[in-house]
Homo-oligomer: A and B are copies of this chain.
Amino acid sequence: MDRDLAPPVADGAARSRPVVMADVARLAGVSHQTVSRVLNDPGTVRPETRERVLTAIRELDYRPNTAARALVTGRTRTVGVVAFDTRLYGPASMLHAIQRAAADAGYYISIVSLESLERRPVLDAIGRLRGQAVDGIILIAPEVSVAQALQEIPSSLPAVAVEGLMDAPMPVVAVDQYTGAARATTHLLDLGHTTVWHIAGPTDWYEARARQAGWRDTLEAAGAPVPEALAGDWSPQAGYEQGRELVRHHVAGDATAVFVANDQMALGVLRAMHEAGIAVPRRLSVVGFDDIPEAAFFAPPLTTVRQAFTEVGTRAMALLLDQLDGHPADPRTITVDPDLVVRASTAPPSDTVV
Q: Which of A115-153 contact B (CB under 8 A)?
A: 115, 128, 130-133
Q: Which of A49-64 contact B (CB under 8 A)?
A: 63-64
Partner of A87, one of B68, B93, B235: B93
Given that A16-B156, A294-B236, A294-B264 are known contacts, is A96 also in contact with B71, CB under 8 Å in the complex? Answer: no
Contact A267 B297 (CB under 8 A): yes
Question: Which stretch of A175-183, A203-211, A268-276 is in the interface?
Answer: A268-276
Q: Is A92 an interface residue (CB 8 A)?
A: yes
Query: Interface digits, A236-253 against B, CB 8 Å rule (1 contact, 0 not)?
Result: 110110000000000000
A130→B85 CA distance, assembly (Å): 27
A298→B295 CA distance, assembly (Å): 11
Q: Is A110 an interface residue (CB 8 A)?
A: yes
Q: Is A86 an interface residue (CB 8 A)?
A: yes
Contact B78 A67 (CB under 8 A): no
> Which A residues have a C-beta under 8 Å from some C-beta of B?
16, 63-71, 76, 78, 85-87, 89, 92-93, 95-96, 99-100, 103, 108-113, 115, 128, 130-133, 156, 235-237, 239-240, 264, 267-268, 270-271, 274, 293-294, 296-299, 301
Contact B297 A66 (CB under 8 A): no
- List residues of chain B with CB within 8 A of the CB of A156: 16
Across the interface, name the chain B residue whose C-beta is closest to A269: B297
- List residues of chain B with CB within 8 A of the CB of A64: 131
The quantity of this chain's copies bound in the complex is 2
- Which 10 pairs across A and B sit closest by C-beta, in order of nearness? A67-B70, A67-B71, A236-B297, A299-B299, A271-B297, A92-B92, A87-B92, A67-B67, A267-B297, A66-B133
- List residues of chain B with CB within 8 A of the CB of A298: 267, 271
Across the interface, name the chain B residue whose C-beta is closest to A293: B236
Contact B240 A297 (CB under 8 A): yes
Contact A235 B67 (CB under 8 A): no
**Which of A67, A239, A264 has the most chain B CB atoms closer than 10 A to its own CB?**
A67
In the complex, 17 of the A-B residue pairs with CB atoms within 8 angstroms, ordered by the A residue number, are A63-B133, A66-B132, A67-B67, A67-B68, A67-B133, A68-B71, A78-B132, A92-B92, A99-B112, A103-B128, A236-B294, A236-B296, A237-B297, A264-B293, A267-B294, A270-B297, A271-B298
Contact B66 A293 (CB under 8 A): no
Contact A85 B78 (CB under 8 A): no
Across the interface, name the chain B residue whose C-beta is closest to A85: B96
Given that A68-B71, A270-B299, A296-B236 are known contacts, is A96 also in contact with B103, CB under 8 Å in the complex? Answer: no
Across the interface, name the chain B residue whose C-beta is closest to A310: B87
Contact B63 A130 (CB under 8 A): yes
8 additional A-B residue pairs with CB within 8 Å, beyond A111-B111, A240-B297, A299-B299:
A66-B76, A67-B69, A67-B70, A67-B76, A78-B110, A85-B96, A100-B115, A110-B110
Partner of A86, one of B96, B240, B271: B96
- List residues of chain B with CB within 8 A of the CB of A93: 87
Contact B78 A86 (CB under 8 A): no
Q: For residue A304, give the distance in angstroms from its CB to the closest CB of chain B.
A: 14
Contact B95 A86 (CB under 8 A): yes
- List residues of chain B with CB within 8 A of the CB of A99: 86, 111-113
A99→B237 CA distance, assembly (Å): 27
- List residues of chain B with CB within 8 A of the CB of A96: 85-87, 113
